[in-house]
Amino acid sequence: MTNLPLLNPSEAVLLMVDQQAGLAFGVGSIDRQLLISNTVALAKTANTFQIPVIVSTSASKVYSGPLMPSIRSVLGDAPSFERRNMNAWEDQAVREAVEKTGRRKLIVSGLLTEACVSFPVLSALADGYEVSVVADTCGGITPDSHSLALRRMEAAGATMTSWLQVLLELQRDWTRKETYDGARAIVEGHAGGYGIGLAYARDMIHPV
């Protein structure tokens, strides 16, 4: 690929923070089932493009529960780090796991936007990382507080994006055969009308 100011699979690492049911209960900024579907799509995207995934959870034994099963089933044995504080970047194990990848483009997804997403994003930006926040895989307590947290991160230098934009940005060329089938399956399964259209084209439109 040419060196464009876009995400490349070889440069990115995905940090998934507190995608746990106990925290999803508090989400009021997005439909929860849509949030889960979007997050699963992002996890599948990381797998398809062989992007390292770092998972962090908090209070999993006393309140939040484990990583949601639908997400864990996609991520398999991706490393998971339990922490005590809200800011995953202040947890040495999490930060070192990101650093060990050697990748400086950080993609972030998580709950809740107001704290456990925005705090590590702001900290990683201060440490010189390029950070993309996958806003539709993040959930806030209210639409307003979610929006304000996104605005704060964007003002600090983070890029706001969606799971579908991440996938298309990584694929960029549908003739890339090594990821074509995986990327297309994710779109068909999670991208609503766009996915329906791709499935229709595959099944109904035939070259003359």
DSSP of 124-176: HHHTT-EEEEEGGG-B-SSHHHHHHHHHHHHHHTPEEE-HHHHHHHHH--TT-
Length of the chain: 208
3-state secondary structure of 20: strand
- Nearest CA to 19 out of 62, 78, 77, 60 is that of 60
- In Å, how far are 46, 115, 135, 168, 181 from 8, measured between CA atoms? 11, 28, 19, 11, 18
Residue 54 parent element (H or E): strand 53-58
Question: In the numeric block, which tokens belong to residue 193?
Answer: 């009308």
116 is catalytic: yes
Judge if the upstream peptide bond of residue 112 is cis by omega within 30 degrees of 0: yes
Residue 200 parent element (H or E): helix 192-204
Out of 112, 116, 150, 186, the active site residue is 116
Cβ atoms of residues 134 and 170 within 8 Å: no
Enzyme catalytic residues: 116
